[in-house]
Structure 1
Amino acid sequence: MAGGPSGTAEGVSNASLVWAVIMSAFAAFGGILFGYDTGTIGGVIAMQDWLQTFGDYDPALNLGINGYYLKTSNKSLVVSILSAGTFFGALLAFPMGDMVGRKKGIVCSCVIFALGVGLQLDTKWSTFVVGRVIAGLGVGLVSCLVPMYQSECSPKNIRGLIVGLYQLAITIGALLAAIVLNATKDELSHSSWRTPISVQFAWAFILGGGMLLLPESPRYLLHKNRVGAARRALGRLTNRPADSPEVDAECTEITLTLEEERAVGTGSYADCFKNNELKAGLRTWTGIMLQGWQQLTGINFIFYYGTTFFQSAGISNPFIITVIADVVNTCMTIVGVQLIDRVGRRRLLLIGAAGMMVCEYIVAIVGVTAGQVAADGTVNLAAQRVLIAFVCFYIAFFATSWGPVAWVITGEIFPLNIRAKGMSLSVASNWLWNFGIGYATPYLVDTSTKGQPNGVATAALHVKVFFIWGSTCLGCLIFTYFFIPETKGLSLEQIDLLYKESSILNSEKYRREMIVANETHAHHEKPTESHDDSSEEAAKV
C-alpha cells in the first residue's frame, strides 16, 4: 500500500540529505549547555581558590586542600541545585514550546541560561547558588525543546542519528569542560574557576543566534493551524518549493494524524494519562520512567563526582582520569548515534543495560577487595587499573545506548497533540532523578565526619555504591523488555499507528510489516498476521 499523494510516511523527506542534517542537527548544540555545566561543577568544587572562596576552614579534619573543604551538605546543594532548576525548566517547556514555539523557545532559554551563568561569577555563596538555579531553568527548557524540535524536523530514516546528536553534544560539552578545567586548575586566583564558567556565554550565544536563522517546526505550525507558515517551513527543511507535491503530501499526513488525535482528546494534561486508543497513558509513563531509569544507571555519579571519587580511590591525577572518561564518553557516543537507526532503539537499550550491569558489579567487587587503599596510603596499582578500565567500559556501554537512545525515544513516542506536555513531564522526570541522585550521592559515598566539629553522618559506601548502580541497571533491562517498542524507520505519524495497533513485545514484527506496506494514516489498513500457505489456499476455496 503505497503512501500516494495523500501521505508519504517519510517523516520529513528531503531532496538534500546534507541540508536536512544541517538544519535539524544544529539544535543539538543545546546539549553542550548541559554537558559543559555538568562537567564543570565537578572540577570547580575541587579547586583551591574556589574552596577558599566558598568553603570552610578546619585543618584538623584533614579534608579538602590546605585545610579548606566543602561541607557535605553544601557539596550536595551546589552540585544538585542546577537539577532542581532544570526540573522546573522542563515543566515550563510545555507553555514555552506550545505558546512561543519550539524555535523561539530555545532562543529564550539561552537568554535565561546566560543570566544564570553571569550570577555564578559572583563570590557570594547565595548568589552563586541562585545563579545555578537560573542556569538550570535554561538548561531544563533546552533539554526538552531541542529533542522536540529535532524529532519534528528530521527525516525518519536518520531521526535516531539526528536526535542522538543531542547526547553527543552533551558529551562534547563535558569533554570541553574537562579540558578547560585541566588548563586552569593550577591557577591560584578567581580566574581558575571563573574562566571555565564564563566560557558558557559562548555556548548560549552560538545556540541562540543560530536558532534565529532556522525555520520553525512545521508540525508545531500545523498544530497552531498556521498552514501557510508550515508549508514554507517544510519547504525550507526539505529544500523544495512550498507548493510542491511532496510538501503537500507531508502536510496532509501530519494534518490527518492531528485531526485523529484531537478527536480522541483535547490535549490537556489529563489526556496525557488516559488509556485511550492512542495509549497516551502508556506512552507518557514510558517517557517518564525511561528518563528516570537513564539517571538511575548512575552515569552522573562519574561526571558530577568523578574527580573527587578518583581522589578518594588513591589515584594521583584524578583530573586526567576524568578527561579520559570524557574522551571515552564522546568517542563512543559518536559510535552509538550511528547505531540507533541500524541496530534499533530497543535492542541497543537491552545491550547497554546488560553491559553496564556487568561492568558496575565488577567495579564494586574489585573495589571492595583488591582496590582498597591501605592504612599507610599504599594502593594496588593493578586493581586501580581494573577500576579505571571497567569504569571506561561502563561509560562506553552507556554512551552507545542509554545516553542517546533515551532522548530519541522521548522525542518520538508522543502524539503531536500532547507532545509538548508529554516531553516536558518526561524530561522533568530526568531532572528530578538527577537532582535526587546528585544530592544524595555525597551522603552515600563520602567519609562520615560524625562526632567531629561541623561533622555530618554519611553511609560512607565509597566504591560499594556501584553495587547500587549495577542493580538499577538490572531494572533498566527489565523495563526496556516490557515497555519500549521498536520504532526504527517509522515516521512520527506511523509510531502513532504502531501504538494503536500493536503490543510492545510484538512491535518489531509489526514495524517491519508497516514499512513493507508503507502504512500511513491516509492509507491505513492493519497489516495481517502471518499465516501459512495451506490456510491461504483454504481461504481461496
Structure 2
Amino acid sequence: MGLVDLKSSEKGIEGKMGFGGKKGTKYRRMDSEEEDVGVMSGAIIYIQKDLHITEFEEEVLVGCLSIVSLLGSLSGGRTSDAIGRKWTMGLGAVVFQAGAAIMTFAPSFQILLIGRLLAGIGIGFGAMISAVYIAEISPAISRGTLTSLPEICINLGILLGYVSNYAFSGLSEHINWRIMLGVGILPSVFIGFALFVIPESPRWLVMQKRVKEARSVLLAISENEAEVEERLVEIEEAAGVLHAAKGSEEKAVWRELLSPSPAVARMLAAGCGIQIFQQITGIDATVYYSPTIFSNAGIKSDKEILAATVAVGFTKTMFILVAIFLIDRVGRKPLLYISTVGMTICLFMLGTALTLQKHGLGLVSPKIGIDLAILAVCGNVAFFSVGMGPICWVLSSEIFPLRLRAQASALGQVGGRVSSGLV
C-alpha cells in the first residue's frame, strides 16, 4: 500500500461468498445517503416553489445532512462493537426511514429540517459500518473489489434519485417533491429485509467471544472445515481475544488513535486523509448542485435540467464499473493519480464554461457553452468514480488492524462529513 504494511494478521476471510462462491451469502447495499443526494438535488427546485424557502434555508437544508451525519458516524463505531455490524446497519435504516417519512409529509421548512436531521443521523451509521462489514466478511483475494461495492450502490442511488426526479417532475409542485423524497424510503426497507439473510461479521462474533457462532458463519462461506479452522485462528489472533482482557479494550483503542504511535499515525494519515480529500474535491457539491450548474450554463427548462442530471448519474454509475474491474488489477495508487488529474482538468473546463456564459463574451455560442458544461460535469464524476470514489472505501477499510477498525473508520467519516459540509 506504500504507507502501511498490512500484516498477515489482517488477512480477510478467504471464504467464498455469494459472488461466485460455492456456499455463499449474498450481500448488497443500497446507499440511502446518495439516493438522497440525487433526489434532493432535483427536489429542492420544487421545495423552493412550494414552501417558499429562502436561499439561506436552501443552503441549510442541503448542507446540514453532511454535518449531522457526524453524530451517526461518531456513535457508529461504539454501537457496532456493542450490538454488531449488521444490526448497526439496521438501526441506521430505521432512523433514516423515520426522517424520510417526516420529510415526505412536512408542511413547513421547520418540519422538513427535522426530518432531514434524522435522516442524516441514520446515514452516518450506514456510511461508517458498510465498508467495515464488507472488509470483515469478504475474501482477501477480492477484498478490493467487494469493499468498493458501496461505491456502486452510491452511484446507483444517485442515478435512481435523478431518474425519480425526472419521472415525477410533471406532477404538481405540491406533490412531486414529496414523492421524490418518499421514494428514498425504499432502499432502507430493502436493508431491513436483508438483515434477516446476511450473517453477522465473524470477526465481531470472535471479539464477543462467540466463537461457535463465528465458526458457523465461516462454515457457510468457506469450502471446507480445514479452511474454517485456519481462518478462525487468524481472526482470533487479530482480535486479540487470546491475550487481551476486554474490560479496558475500548479506552485503549481510543488512546491508541488519539495518541498514536508513528505506525498508527501513518495509518490515520492515509485512511482518514483520503476521506477528507475525497470531499474536498467538491464531488457532493457537484452532485447536489448539478441542476443549478446546468441552469447557470443556460438550460432553461426544469425538465431538461433534470434530464441532464440523469446523464450525470448514468455516467457516474458506468465508470464505477470500470473501476471495479481495474482496482485489483491496476492497483490503488495509479487509479488515484488518474482520478485526481482528470477531475482537476474537468473542473477547470467547467469553471471556464460557466465564466464564458455568465459574462457573455461572445467567444462561444450558448449551445456550445451548455454542451461544454454537461461534458465537464460528466467527466468530473467519471474520473471521481474511476479512483477517488471506490478507493476511499477500500483503503479506509484495509489499512487499519481489526482492533482499531470500527473507531478509526468512524474518525475517517467524521473528517469526510466535516469536509463535505464545509465545501
TM-score (norm 1): 0.71
CA shift, 1:26, in A, is 2.1
Q: Contact 1:24–1:150 (CA<8 Å) still a contact in 2? A: no
Question: Hey, what does 1:42 align to over in structure 2?
Answer: 41
- Residue equivalent to 2:198: 214
From the superposition, tell whether residues 303 and 202 of structure 1 become closer, same or farther in structure 2 (CA, over 3 Å): same
User: Do residues 272 (structure 1) and 272 (structure 2) align?
Assistant: no
Match of 1:166 in 2: 150
How many angstroms apart in 1 are the aligned matches of 2:220 and 2:143?
Answer: 17
2:26 touches 2:198 (CA, 8 Å); kept in 1? no
Preserved CA contact (<8 Å) 1:90 1:141: yes
Match for residue 180 of structure 1? 164
Relative distance call for 1:203 and 1:252 in structure 2 (3 A) is: same
Matched with 2:130 is 146
Query: Contact between 2:86 and 2:195, CA under 8 Å: does it hold in 1?
Result: yes
Letter in 2 for 1:117: A
Partner of 1:412: 398
User: Does the 8 Å CA contact 2:37/2:288 hold for their aligned counterparts?
Assistant: yes
Q: Give yes or no for the alignment of 1:195 onto 2:196.
A: no
Q: Distance in 2 between matches of 1:75 and 1:52?
A: 11
Where does residue 18 of structure 1 map in the other structure? 19
Question: Which of residues 252, 266, 279 in structure 2 aligns to 1:295?
Answer: 279
For each residue in 1:70-114, what CA deviation from the matched residue of structure 2 results, as whole angstroms up to 9, or x when unmatched? 422111101011112211111111121100100111111111111
Question: How has the CA–CA distance of structure 1 residues 162 and 187 changed in structure 2, closer, same or farther, with 3 Å as cutoff?
Answer: same
Higher helix share: 2
Structure 2 residue aligned with 1:400? 386
Contact 1:363 1:390 in 2 (8 A): yes
The share of aligned pairs that are identical, in percent, is: 26
Is the 1:288–1:429 contact (alpha carbons within 8 Å) kept by the matching residues of 2? yes
Q: Distance in 1 between matches of 2:26 and 2:279?
A: 24
**Equivalent position amino acid for 1:250 in 2:** R
2:51 match:
54
Matched, 1:93 2:76: yes
Query: 1: distance between equivalents of 2:317 and 2:405?
Result: 29
Task: Give the residue type in structure 2 aligned to 1:45.
Answer: I
Classify 1:108/1:328 alpha carbon distance in 2 versus 1 (closer, same or farther; 3 Å). same
| Contact 2:142/2:328 (<8 A) preserved | yes
Matches within 5 A, 1:369-384: 369=356, 371-372=357-358, 374=360, 380-384=366-370
Structure of larger gyration radius: 1
Contact 2:169–2:176, Cα closer than 8 Å, also in 1: yes
Give me the whole-angstrom Cα distance separating, in 2, the residues matched to 1:23 and 1:216: 14
How many equivalent pairs are there?
407
* One-letter amino acid of the structure 2 residue matched with residue 257 of structure 1: A
2:328 corresponds to: 341
Give the equivalent residue in structure 2 for 1:501: none
Task: Say which is worse superposed, 257-266 or 161-170, in terms of deviation.
Answer: 257-266
What is the rounded CA distance, in whole Å, between the counterparts of 1:274 and 1:344 in structure 2? 31
Question: Match for 2:54 among 71, 75, 100?
Answer: 71
Structure 1 distance, partners of 2:242, 2:397, is 17
Which letter does structure 2 place at the counterpart of 1:367? L
Q: 1:130 to 1:205 in 2, by over 3 A?
A: same
Q: Which runs of 5+ in 1 are unaligned?
A: 1-6, 56-69, 438-541
In 2, Cα distance between equivalents of 1:44 and 1:129 = 14
Distance 1:13 1:381, change over 3 A: same
Query: Deviations 1:286-341 (Å, cap 9, x if unpaired)?
Result: 22221110011111122111102211221232111111111100111111112111
Q: By how many angstroms is 1:52 displaced? A: 3.6
Deviates further, 121-130 or 322-331:
121-130
**1:321 and 2:302 matched:** no
What is the CA distance between 1:216 and its match in structure 2?
0.6
Change (3 A) 1:22 1:284: farther
> Partner of 1:465 in structure 2?
none
Give the superposition deviation at 1:135.
0.6
Does residue 129 of the first structure (1) align with residue 113 of the second (2)? Answer: yes
Amino acid at match of 1:154: S
CA separation in 2, counterparts of 1:85 and 1:262?
38
**Greater RCO (Cα-Cα under 8 Å, separation 6 or more):** 2
User: What are the superposed Cα offsets for residues 22-75 of structure 1, whole Å, 9 maximum, x if unpaired?
Assistant: 96762432x2x111100111111112xx224321xxxxxxxxxxxxxx422111
Structure 2 residue 410 is matched with structure 1 residue 424: yes
Amino acid at match of 1:321: A
Q: CA deviation at 1:14?
A: 2.6
1:106 paired residue number: 89
Mapped to 2, the partners of 1:250 and 1:325 lie a distance apart of 42
- Note closer, same or farther for the CA distance 1:309–1:25 as it changes in structure 2 (3 Å cut): farther
Shift of 1:379: 5.0
Residues 18 and 368 (structure 1), Cα distance of their counterparts in 2 relative to 1, 3 Å cut: closer
147-156 or 310-319, which moves further after superposition? Answer: 310-319
Displacement of 1:274 = 3.6
In 2: Cα distance, 1:135 partner to 1:394 partner: 27
Letter of the structure 1 residue corresponding to residue 44 of structure 2: I
Residue aligning to 2:351: 364
Q: 1:212 to 1:428 in 2, by over 3 A?
A: farther
For residues 154 and 291 of structure 2, the distance between their equivalents in structure 1, rounded to whole angstroms, comes to 18
Residues 243-262 of structure 1 aligned to structure 2 (within 5 Å)? 244-259=225-240
2:421 paired residue number: 435
Note closer, same or farther for the CA distance 1:20–1:9 as it changes in structure 2 (3 Å cut): farther
Deviation at 1:195, TM superposition (A): 1.0
Contact 1:103–1:212 at 8 Å: present in 2 too?
A: no
Contact kept, 8 Å, 2:10 with 2:401, in 1: the verdict is no
How many angstroms apart in 2 are the aligned matches of 1:196 and 1:21? 40
Measured in 1, the distance between the counterparts of 2:26 and 2:128 equals: 15
Matches within 5 A, 1:483-494: none
Instruction: Give the match for residue 3 of structure 2.
Output: none
User: Alignment RMSD, CA only?
Assistant: 2.5
Match of 1:354 in 2: 341
- The CA distance in 1 between the partners of 2:195 and 2:360, in whole Å, is 54
Residue 327 of structure 1 aligns with an amino acid whose one-letter code is F
